[in-house]
Structure 1
Amino acid sequence: MAKQIILLSLVALSCAFLAFASDPSPLQDFCVADPASSARVNGLACKKPASVGANDFSFSGLHLAGNTSNPNGSRVTPVTVAQLPGLNTLGISMVRIDYAPWGINPPHTHPRATEILTVIEGSLQVGFVTSNPENSLITKTLQKGDVFVFPVGLVHFQRNVGTKNAVAIAALSSQNPGVITIANAVFGSKPGISSDILAKAFQVEKSVVEQLQAKF
């Protein structure tokens, strides 16, 4: 009997940890974010319900193409809690991604969210890399209407493999998924990571690292 109780306790703890693997569930109908509040919470403080209106739950602009005139040839238009206060505590958000021909959304991670992406126009090569030690690349070329999922925390990317502009819509399992672009984080940190460390990590000459850091 004691062993059964211990086993059930372990299962309960496991379920509890799984339940909190993403944003916690809301305990009320809504909690529209109040960015003016000075309260420090894991998320954003709530507006008074009496001051909430339909505009707090609405966002306009995803029909507009993003400007892809940048080195990556892509533009992400986010709809997170920062743009749509009504998302606060709901555990979801979304983005529109525009790609110029052969443009990329460079390797990056979302530390707080799984992402599911749908191709709206064009063709995209997408992929993610599994964790150590395998570091296996899972990749596929998607066409209009295809869907692909990127597991939470894993490095992933997209590339337009067509000669015309491409568009995707992605949903994420957090009101504020965060994004860590690998190249920016490694070579563009402030202050910079020591070039000696990066040269050893990437097994290249120190001068190569310094050239890369200068670009960021």
Structure 2
Amino acid sequence: MKGAYLLTVAILALAASIAFAYDPSPLQDFCVAIDDPKQALFVNGKFCKNPKLVKAEDFFFRGLNIPGNTNNPVGSNVTTVNVDTLPGLNTLGISFVRIDYAPYGENPPHTHPRATEILVVVEGTLYVGFVTSNQKDGSNLLFTKVLNKGDVFVFPIGLIHFQANVGKTPAVAFASLSSQNPGVITIANAVFGAKPPINPNVLAKAFRLDEKIVVKLQKQFWTSN
């Protein structure tokens, strides 16, 4: 009887270890393994401050009431509150942004590789949407909505999404993201503005463009929010 009890406990312990053992969410683009600890860097977060030295200022950020400068080619500006600007966010798995849009400005198609985003409009009217990953039939579904003041929309983690001001007046939105460092990949910037540049022949085939057009696009000045 005692042996059966111990076996049951052992099985339950093994099941629990399988259920709760998982890799931590990555907080950087990559982490190359290295055996020499002298050449290693602390990644996937920050060093923790001694609790005795922590102050209220470590959990405080000022300035989200100030409009961002939208005088740029895309007509938008993102003011980010993440672990780099608000140290108290470290390990808490959340960040926050203010997005300002000039009339007819946009936050161009981009992804957050490490976070889901929930956005609320506080001024103006936005056309927003996201595209799904590749479906079984090879298609990518587009989900869009026109948002007005007080409306909320969610962009699932990792999916390409965008917001565009469809009004004649400036617009403002606030968004929360489910990572202290969600990362952002602006699609046009990453594809045509990579350093060093991607081989134009590769992009010409991928986008079915003349190679000369690709080279011209690669010479553009790409704006990143």
Q: Which TM class, normalised by the smaller chain length?
A: 0.7 to 0.9
Q: Which residue of 2 aligns with 1:179?
A: 184
Asked if 1 retains the 8 angstrom alpha-carbon contact of 2:78 and 2:100, the reply is yes
Q: Which amino acid aligns with 2:64?
A: L
Cα distance change, pair 14–58 in 1 and its aligned pair in 2 (3 A): same
Alpha-carbon displacement from aligned partner over 1:17-70 (angstroms, at most 9, x marks no partner): 5x95687xxxxxxxxxxxxxx951311111111111010000000000000000
Query: Residues of 1 paired with 2:45 and 2:77: CA distance?
Result: 26
Query: Residues of 2 paired with 1:115 and 1:22: CA distance?
Result: 17
Give the match's secondary structure for 1:56. helix
Cα distance change, pair 47–202 in 1 and its aligned pair in 2 (3 A): same
Q: Which amino acid aligns with 2:148?
A: Q
Deviates more, 1:145-154 or 1:43-52: 43-52
Return the index of the structure with the highest Cα Rg: 2
Asked if 1 retains the 8 angstrom alpha-carbon contact of 2:110 and 2:185, the reply is yes
Q: 5 Å matches for 1:127-138?
A: 127-132=129-134, 133-138=138-143
1:203 Cα deviation from its structure 2 partner: 0.6
Gaps of 5+ in 2: 1-10, 28-39
Q: 5 Å matches for 1:67-216?
A: 67-132=69-134, 133-216=138-221
1:171 Cα deviation from its structure 2 partner: 0.2
Query: Residues of 1 paired with 2:154 and 2:94: CA distance?
Result: 15
Q: Which residue of 2 aligns with 1:29?
A: none
Give the TM-score normalised by the residue count of structure 2: 0.81
RMSD between aligned alpha carbons? Answer: 2.2
Give the match's secondary structure for 1:183. helix
Q: Which amino acid aligns with 1:208?
A: I
| Identity, % of aligned positions | 63
Query: Residues of 2 paired with 1:80 and 1:125: CA distance?
Result: 25
Q: Which residue of 1 aligns with 2:32?
A: none
Query: Residues of 2 paired with 1:185 and 1:92: CA distance?
Result: 25
Cα distance change, pair 139–44 in 1 and its aligned pair in 2 (3 A): same
Aligned residue-pair number: 195
Give the match's secondary structure for 1:215. coil
Q: Which residue of 1 aligns with 2:56?
A: 54
